[in-house]
């Protein structure tokens, strides 16, 4: 699916890389300014968006280097043979149902928004970018493993193990405290991993291995993370004062503590 190629063999690739690097530089400069002006022990929506923007841009750079962006740029969203394939339609619809139930039901029941106001438009923009960036990195891992020549199911298993582990560490050590607002119910974390995150990644990767359709994989990650962004009421980039709260534990708070808050 991902062919070996020479990086920057097309003129647009250099422009893409320069744009991403410029974005990282601008966002990092703004973030450093705010870090000097504001305390580090509070959750700050403006800095959350800046950190997320740096992460998104970095993900897109990685996916360019791994050959994911060039492959997507030259591939159809859906191949003509898939449009007339009932097995492809059944598998794709089933995948989206699994993701919707996993995040719209299981993940939602273990998530609280603490009364944060809902701003739909910026929230949707964030969720779509988050899904595209996360999906692009997972596809980058797949691309690297696929080029070993051990086949798509080796890439599936490797991406699940490597991508899942890295994503879990990233969320535990940084994302769920510095970017995402307080939202986890401590007692439900294992359930969310087993019944939302694992099914999403397993079935999305299996769909990719069988049908070689990376756009469906990306769509699944966009759906999952847009639902997550909506459920937690991710604050807008302008950062209402109500969202400026003491830094939280990324694992969340016990249900009893939340109920008494």
> Is 164:231 a contact under the CB 8 Å cutoff?
no
Residue 248 to residue 182: CA distance in whole angstroms:
6
**pLDDT tens track for 26-84:** 999 999 999 999 988 899 999 999 999 999 999 999 999 999 999 998 889 999 999 99
The share of the chain scoring above pLDDT 90, in percent, equals 84
Say whether pLDDT at 241 is over 80.
no
Residue 161 CA to residue 118 CA, distance in Å, equals 35
Query: Whole-model pTM?
Result: 0.95
Quickly state the pLDDT bin for 261 (edges 50, 70, 90).
low
pLDDT in tens, 156-211: 999 999 999 999 999 999 999 999 999 999 999 999 999 999 999 999 999 999 99
Exposed e or buried b per residue across 29-67, where buried means at least 16 C-beta atoms within 10 angstroms of its C-beta: ebbeeeeeeeeeeebbbbbbbbbbbbbbbbbbbbbbbbb
Burial letters for 169-208: b for 16+ Cβ neighbours within 10 Å, e otherwise?
eebeeebbbbbbbbbbbbebeeebeebbbebbbebbbbbb
Rg (alpha carbons) of the chain, rounded to whole number:
19
Residue 41, SS3 per DSSP: coil
Give 235's Cβ-side CA count (13 Å radius). Answer: 26
Backbone φ, ψ for residue 131 (5° rounding): -65, -45
Residue 260 confidence (pLDDT) = 75
Residue 14: its pLDDT value, please?
A: 95
**Other CB atoms within 10 Å distance of the CB of residue 78:** 14
């Amino acid at each position: 699916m991902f062919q070996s190629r020479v990086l920057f063999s097309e003129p647009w690739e250099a422009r893409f890389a320069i744009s991403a690097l410029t974005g990282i530089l601008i966002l990092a400069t703004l973030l450093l300014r705010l870090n000097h002006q504001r305390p580090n022990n509070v959750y700050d929506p403006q800095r959350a968006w800046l950190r997320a923007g740096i992460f998104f841009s970095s993900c897109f750079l990685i996916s360019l280097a791994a050959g994911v962006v060039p492959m997507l740029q030259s591939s159809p969203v859906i191949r003509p043979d898939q449009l007339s394939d009932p097995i492809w339609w059944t598998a794709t619809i089933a995948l989206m149902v699994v993701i919707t139930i996993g995040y719209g039901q299981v993940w939602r029941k273990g998530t609280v928004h603490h009364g944060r106001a809902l701003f739909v438009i910026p929230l949707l923009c964030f969720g779509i970018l988050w899904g595209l960036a996360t999906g692009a990195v997972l596809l980058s891992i797949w691309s690297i493993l696929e080029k070993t020549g051990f086949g798509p199911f080796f890439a599936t298993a490797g991406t699940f193990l490597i991508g899942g582990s890295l994503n879990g560490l990233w969320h535990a050590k940084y994302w769920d405290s510095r970017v995402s607002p307080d939202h986890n119910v401590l007692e439900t974390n294992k359930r969310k991993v087993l019944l939302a995150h694992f099914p999403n990644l397993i079935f999305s990767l299996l769909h990719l291995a069988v049908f070689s359709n990376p756009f469906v994989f990306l769509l699944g990650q966009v759906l999952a993370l847009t639902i997550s962004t909506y459920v937690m009421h991710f604050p807008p980039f302008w950062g209402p004062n109500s969202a400026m709260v003491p830094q939280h534990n990324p694992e969340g708070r016990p249900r009893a503590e939340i109920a008494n808050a």
